[in-house]
Amino acid sequence: MTTTPEVALSDRLSAQVPRYTSYPTAPHFHPGVASETYRQWLSALPAGTGISLYLHIPYCDRLCWFCACNTRQTRQYGPVTRYLAALHKEIDTVAALVGPAIRVRSVHFGGGSPTMLLPADIVALDRRLRQAFDYAADAEISVEIEPNDMDEARFDALAAIGMTRVSLGVQDFDPKVQAAINREQSFELTRSAVEGARSRGARSVNLDLVYGLPHQTVASVEATVRQALQLRPDRIALFGYAHVPWFKKHQTMIDEAWLPDARERFAQSTRAGEVIVEGGYEAIGLDHFALPGDSLAVAMRTGRMHRNFQGYTDDDGEVLIGLGSSSIGRLPQGYIQNNPATGEYERQVGEGGLAVSRGYAFSEEDLARGWVIERLMCDFAFSPAELARLFPAHAPGILADARRLAGDDRGAVFAEEHDRFVVTPEGRPLVRTVAAGFDTFLRTGKARHSAAV
């Protein structure tokens, strides 16, 4: 963490730190946690446990060059059909292991592009899930929508599966930016997708916007935000582009000379957030916004907000089960990740019903530090008294770290105030850097991450 105010702001903004959608973060998962371990963990879930399901569809018919998701382009539907057969089998295997007394509270279809699926396959996938698992009557069904995929039949299929929430990627409406990231999507097409989803039962609409993309300026980002606000989404996610060409080779299609520097990225992020808040939205954590009546805003105000691999959420389910290649799940014992290679995923599922490639088993200290990091990311603060109540054995060491960090920083970004430690209002854009101060794994230097802002 920075030790003096004189250190250049750009040094802080460009520092490489995790996004902290998990702790430990995914680079520290290892193959020592495999399918047999996962079977034991699933079988140990007590009756009555509420679970969330995440289903990963790792295909797109067009590859966006900025994307860091686990996906691949295909113009043929045959690979998708084979993949869905394996996904159905994995669903059956997992459901048999957890037993009938487990209740599904939410389902999220992500990708890739879940809406690339044929309408009949969307409905069939939902049917398989409902046959395998017991759904709560008020279960939330969330779907990531690619507007270029959508037609009336797909909207009807989403209505048939009980869709309640949708998330649409916008990124930027500027044609020059869109051309540079291979993502052409007009405002009118986006409006049509939002209206189509709402007319089929979506009670909540999220738009993803991105700053730090090639050719963006503060003015162009503000223009995109103002257009997005015309659609009155319930939530907005404002992400910084993560340029990680060493991890995603297709990002080499983006000329780094087109990218804004750290100060420009910060200016884009700041102005976009100001415009969104001026539009009547509440700032949520690091990079989300919601209308005051939205459940995420309510969860933020009441201290019930959480953070997982989909970002900020009001889902307080005890267990997240990932289904599909590369998907990550969290159980009380630790993290599980499926094989990211679709061919290997299909082979493993065909042979044994599960396709775990790696994971991580929690220690008590991991849980304690993970709790602190999540509270910082969600609330910009944590209570030493609550930490001591939940994790008495590890609180002293963590609190010593907190006091050292606050002292080193001279209270500019992180400070001890009364009965809690807080990220200062000025320091909130750097909350990931603060969280990194509690990350014992980051000290090993074995992973590369994106810029802090």
Q: Tell me the pLDDT tens digit for each residue of 363-382.
A: 999 999 999 999 999 999 99
Let me know whether 376 and 240 are in one domain. Answer: no
Beta strands in 242-347, from DSSP E residues, in sequence order: 282-284, 288-290, 306-308, 311-313, 319-323, 328-331, 334-338
pLDDT for residue 7: 42
pLDDT for residue 453: 59
pLDDT for residue 63: 84
Using CA atoms, how far apart are residues 5 and 427, in angstroms rounded to an integer? 12
Using CA atoms, how far apart are residues 46 and 125, in angstroms rounded to an integer? 26
Is position 339 within any domain? Answer: no
Let me know whether 198 and 86 are in one domain. Answer: yes
Domain CATH for 433: 1.10.10.920
Whole-number mean pLDDT of the chain? 92
Is position 74 within any domain? Answer: yes
Let me know whether 385 and 273 are in one domain. Answer: no
Q: Would you place residue 394 in the very low, low, confident or very high pLDDT band (cuts 50, 70, 90)? A: very high
pLDDT for residue 446: 54
Q: Would you place residue 250 in the very low, low, confident or very high pLDDT band (cuts 50, 70, 90)? A: confident
Q: Would you place residue 6 in the very low, low, confident or very high pLDDT band (cuts 50, 70, 90)? A: very low
Mean pLDDT confidence for 424-451: 81
For the ranges 182-186, 389-393, 439-443, the one whose mean pLDDT is highest: 389-393
Is position 269 within any domain? Answer: yes
User: What tokens appear for 202 in the block?
Assistant: 């979506």
Let me know whether 135 and 207 are in one domain. Answer: yes
Domain CATH for 70: 3.80.30.20
Is position 353 within any domain? Answer: no
Let me know whether 176 and 244 are in one domain. Answer: yes
Q: What is the pLDDT of residues 33-60, one digit of tens each?
A: 999 999 999 999 999 999 999 999 999 9
Let me know whether 297 and 400 are in one domain. Answer: no
Q: Would you place residue 12 in the very low, low, confident or very high pLDDT band (cuts 50, 70, 90)? A: low
Closest by CA position to 152, among listed 109, 102, 103, 192: 192
User: What tokens appear for 23 in the block?
Assistant: 């702790």
pLDDT for residue 4: 39
Give the domain extent around 66.
27-328
Let me know whether 322 and 387 are in one domain. Answer: no
Q: Which domain-ending residue is among 328, 353, 386?
A: 328
Q: What's the number of domains the chain is made of?
A: 2
pLDDT surpasses 50 at 1:
no
Is position 214 within any domain? Answer: yes
pLDDT for residue 2: 43
Q: What is the pLDDT of residues 213-248, one digit of tens each?
A: 999 999 999 999 999 999 999 999 999 988 888 877
Question: What does R_g of the chain's alpha carbons equal in angstroms?
Answer: 21
Question: Is the separation of the CB atoms in 6 and 334 below 8 Å?
Answer: no
pLDDT for residue 331: 97
Let me know whether 393 and 307 are in one domain. Answer: no
Q: What is the pLDDT of residues 134-151, one digit of tens each?
A: 999 999 999 999 999 999
Is position 154 within any domain? Answer: yes
Q: Would you place residue 200 in the very low, low, confident or very high pLDDT band (cuts 50, 70, 90)? A: very high
> What is the distance of C-alpha 224 from the center of its chain?
22
Q: Which domain-ending residue is among 301, 328, 355?
A: 328
Q: Which residue has the tokens 């916008």?
A: 170
Closest by CA position to 308, among listed 54, 126, 55, 58: 54
Is position 10 within any domain? Answer: no
Using CA atoms, how far apart are residues 271 and 252, in angstroms rounded to an integer? 28
Let me know whether 131 and 189 are in one domain. Answer: yes
Amino acid 76 reads Q
Is position 386 within any domain? Answer: yes
Let me know whether 320 and 420 are in one domain. Answer: no
Using CA atoms, how far apart are residues 346 and 103, in angstroms rounded to an integer? 27
pLDDT for residue 43: 97
Helices 119-132 and 78-98, axial angle in degrees (round to 10): 10
Let me know whether 310 and 428 are in one domain. Answer: no
pLDDT for residue 13: 62
Q: What is the pLDDT of residues 117-131, one digit of tens each?
A: 999 999 999 999 999
Beta strands in 58-152, from DSSP E residues, in sequence order: 59-60, 72-73, 103-111, 134-145
Let me know whether 322 and 402 are in one domain. Answer: no
pLDDT for residue 271: 97
Q: What is the pLDDT of residues 69-113, one digit of tens each?
A: 788 889 899 999 999 999 999 999 999 999 888 999 999 999 999
pLDDT for residue 447: 55
pLDDT for residue 281: 98
